[in-house]
Structure 1
Amino acid sequence: MNNKYYKISLATMLLIFFSFATLLVWQYVLSLVFMEDEITFSASVVIGFLTCPLLIYAMLSGIYFFIFNKRPKYDKGITRYLVYLMFLSFAISLPISFYVDYKLKNAGYLTCDKISWQSPTTYVTNLSLCQ
């Protein structure tokens, strides 16, 4: 693993993977913001939404380190605040999830049956939208 180009390509592949995961989480959050007919939401979506900046920054700073062989200028400060945001996401994810559940049910949304207890809850305006 001493090859510089191997490390850069591995970090780039991880960045692409986390970017697709981030897009999926953003899709869930945007469906909630725009109150679409089908909304997928849970505490894990909140954690993923608030943790995405840390993951993407970690991948970008890793690529920067492998290319220039030095850390970014304000790496420690940025990382510190992004880690605080990540820990905050763990603390506030459950209350936000309960609040969103309450608000969506009061807005007339119905919940679909879950595949497992860990899967996010799907809220729909009509039960025929459940698959």
Structure 2
Amino acid sequence: MKTETIHGQIIAKANHYQAVSGKGGTRRIIKDEKIRAYEKSFIQQCHIYRNKRISGRFRLFVRVWHSSIRFDLDNSLKTLLDCLQMVDAIEDDKLCFQIEAEKHIDKYHPRIEFAILEVNEQKNIFQ
């Protein structure tokens, strides 16, 4: 199992959507520039898991170094899973059956480290 590191403060998608005008006076929700910039940075930095196309159940191991305690760990996980789909590391985040996550603080070098372990569908991981 290989570990990949992505440098930069991971952005919580929940806090970075904006409402804009749509057709016929409707409103639609889009990502703001901060989340798009993070996604672009993730895509540029992700090399180990890019195009792995994991299509079965998997376990995700994550260590997140936030620049401040004010950032939530759980919001980081959703962003990470979405970015993994963007780089074709995984086919669908619904295939994630277990997450082991840690939160750390590094004011000057925020980053995430993650590893993905494919799980045999027939094997019970708690035995």
- TM-score relative to the length of structure 1: 0.26
> Which structure has more strand as a fraction of its residues?
2
- TM-score relative to the length of structure 2: 0.26
Indicate the structure (1 or 2) with the bigger Cα radius of gyration: 1
Larger relative contact order, structure 1 or 2 (CA cutoff 8 Å, min sep 6): 2
> Which structure has more helix as a fraction of its residues?
1
